[in-house]
Amino acid sequence: MDLGFLNNLIDGFIAAGSLNNLFFCLIGCMLGTLIGVLPGIGPIPTIAMLLPVTYGLGPLTSLIMLAGIYYGAQYGGSTTSILVNMPGEASSVVTCIDGHQMAKQGRAGAALGVAALGSFFAGCVGTVFIAAFGPPLAAFAQKFSSPEYFALMVLGLVTAVVMAHGSLVKAVAMILIGLLFGLIGTDVNTGVQRFTFGVEELWDGMDFLPMVIGMFGIVEIIKNLEGPEVARQAMSTRIRDLWPSLQDFKDSWKAVLRGTLSGSLLGIVPGGGVVLASFAAYTIEKKLAKDPSRFGKGAIEGVAGPESANNAASQTSFIPLLTLGLPSNAIMALMMGAMMIQGIAPGSAVMQTRPDLFWGMVASMWIGNLMLVIINMPMIGLWVKLLSVPYRLLYPAIIMFCMIGIYSTSSSFVQIVLTAIFTGFGYLLLRLDCEPAPLILGFILGPLMEENLRRSMVLSRGDPMIFFSRPISATLLVLALIVVALIVLPQFRKTREVAFVED
């Protein structure tokens, strides 16, 4: 392997190490931890909400901050899982199982310590993963032209569907609806307006902020308000020493390694990401354990594995976005949106044209992980206190942040009305069991897919066989077909259902 990436990585550390970038990295990590701790608001609406704030920052600074929110949320989520038995994020649902049991046995410190150190280790490995695999992948992607990109997007979307939970047909439909929504606005090739209904605000395409905030942020609040108010009570036991004992280390280091590896791999797969990674890691640990009956009763491996896995995955899920321009999940789609707002087209070209951006971001992830360990260990007490803020005071504040975020980007009532419409749409989807995340993916990719399809068809004079006559695009499409074939197989279907049953 070419070790030139080490030099680049050093340049990245220099870029990310500027006082300004360190500051926003810290802000991102803290905000991430905060939303990770608070149930009822996830990283998707938070990143969407904070996008307007980043418009004024430089591209690298804003990406550093947004990435910090994302992986910071994984840290925060584990804290509440262990102490309160309430996962702040979907990715820490499994951490509750054994983490909270450990806390009940008075070993909260060990659980939190192992979760933090495992996450830090996984974060470091994830960073190296990106640094090592990013450049070759990007170089490979340089050979891509329109047919390959189209095939790649098809593969990405198909895989994302398989990995999503719930009905497959519905997930496909949601992606297609997202693609269709993505086409709203003026057609770049002909200047014709499509689906704009005479609304001036839609001429440049629909902003994704109202859509994301409506469908994810506001609908989440409404969902929480429909249920009974839950009292959140933290463990009364004092968290004495956060440092795990030597025995804890011995028990958990293998789980950390396995979690890191599986998480790193699952992070790269489109549609994979953090939730799947933590579930998979838990299953692996339980399968490999000499005495599986300990699981659910405070097995430290059940904390170490998933926590390492979700953090590793949160890092490596940047790989397809930064190298191929393909967002692998809804959060990466938002990051892609953030990059496009800054005038950067994500993809293989970024590494050539803006190496500081790629390497600076990679370096910032390592720095951010270090910050999280150092800051969060002593601050756990404060985070737990925050949990006692009742939801009735919290949700009006969340709505306020969402609304100001949307209004400040456009100063237009229309965007608020759009948010309201998407709130209604998202609520309808919730009632009809349609997972909205694939829609975001489609929405971001819509215009790109159309453009690449168009160009391919111009190249081939309208012959769709072009996708199969070029080796790379043919391989990608065959892979997509294999994935589709797998879904239809009853054996695989069963495994998939089982995999998501613990949800």
Three-state DSSP at 227 gives coil
Tokens of 500: 């998501």
| Cβ 212 to other proteins shortest distance, Å | 15
Contact 317, 434 (CB under 8 A): no
Using rule CB under 8 A, residue 136 touches other proteins: no
Using rule CB under 8 A, residue 173 touches other proteins: yes
Contact 284, 299 (CB under 8 A): no
- The piece of 58-66, 124-132, 338-346, 414-422 that touches other proteins (CB under 8 A) is 414-422
Using rule CB under 8 A, residue 167 touches other proteins: yes
| Cβ 400 to other proteins shortest distance, Å | 6
Binding positions for other proteins, 43-62, rule CB under 8 A: 53, 56
Smaller CB separation from other proteins, 187 or 497:
187
User: Which of 444, 397, 403, 393 is CA-nearest to residue 423?
Assistant: 403
| Cβ 222 to other proteins shortest distance, Å | 5
C-alpha pair distances (Å), 283 with each of 31, 94, 123, 287, 297 = 30, 10, 21, 6, 15
Three-state DSSP at 193 gives strand
In DSSP notation, 61-94 reads HHHHHHHHHHHHHHHHHHHHHHHHS--SSGGGHH
- The piece of 188-196, 266-274, 376-384, 482-490 that touches other proteins (CB under 8 A) is 188-196
Smaller CB separation from other proteins, 189 or 247:
189
Among 13, 133, 243, 407, binds other proteins (CB under 8 A): 407
Tell me, what amino acid is at 441? Answer: L
Q: Would you give the binding string for other proteins spanning residues 298-337, x where CB under 8 A is met?
A: ----------------------------------------
Tokens of 445: 């990719």
- The piece of 64-72, 165-173, 279-287, 477-485 that touches other proteins (CB under 8 A) is 165-173
Smaller CB separation from other proteins, 293 or 411:
411
Among 132, 373, 424, 474, binds other proteins (CB under 8 A): 424
Smaller CB separation from other proteins, 289 or 399:
399
User: What angle do the packed helices 219-226 and 391-410 form, to 10 degrees?
Assistant: 160
- Binding residues with other proteins: total (CB under 8 A): 62
Alpha carbon 337 to its chain centroid, in Å, reads 13
Binding positions for other proteins, 374-403, rule CB under 8 A: 392-393, 395-397, 399-400, 403
| Cβ 173 to other proteins shortest distance, Å | 4
Binding positions for other proteins, 444-503, rule CB under 8 A: 449-450, 453-454, 457-458, 460-464
Q: Would you give the binding string for other proteins spanning residues 192-221, x where CB under 8 A is met?
A: x-xx-x--------------------x--x
Three-state DSSP at 149 gives helix
Contact 41, 79 (CB under 8 A): no
Spatial distance between the Cα atoms of 300 and 371, rounded to a whole number of angstroms = 24
Smaller CB separation from other proteins, 117 or 449:
449
Smaller CB separation from other proteins, 246 or 432:
432
Smaller CB separation from other proteins, 69 or 300:
69
Using rule CB under 8 A, residue 428 touches other proteins: yes
Q: Would you give the binding string for other proteins spanning residues 66-85, x where CB under 8 A is met?
A: --------------------
User: Which of 424, 418, 420, 449 is CA-nearest to residue 436?
Assistant: 424
Residue 186 bridge partners (DSSP): 193
| Cβ 197 to other proteins shortest distance, Å | 7
Tell the residue number behind the tokens 């198909």, with chain if given: 158
| Cβ 70 to other proteins shortest distance, Å | 21
User: Which regions of 97-216 does DSSP assign to beta strands (E)?
Assistant: 185-186, 193-194
| Helical residues (DSSP H) of 207-345, grouped into ranges | 208-212, 219-226, 246-268, 273-288, 301-316, 318-324, 330-341
C-alpha pair distances (Å), 176 with each of 270, 296, 431 = 17, 40, 20
Tokens of 458: 């111009």
Among 319, 434, 437, 439, binds other proteins (CB under 8 A): 434
Using rule CB under 8 A, residue 268 touches other proteins: no
- C-beta neighbour count of 211 within 10 angstroms: 24
Using rule CB under 8 A, residue 162 touches other proteins: no
Spatial distance between the Cα atoms of 467 and 148, rounded to a whole number of angstroms = 7
- Compute φ and ψ for 436, nearest 5 degrees: -80, -15
**Residues found near other proteins in the complex (CB under 8 A):** 53, 56, 167, 169-170, 172-173, 176-177, 179-180, 183, 187, 189-190, 192, 194-195, 197, 218, 221-222, 225-226, 229, 392-393, 395-397, 399-400, 403-404, 407-408, 411, 413, 415-417, 419-420, 423-424, 427-428, 431-434, 449-450, 453-454, 457-458, 460-464
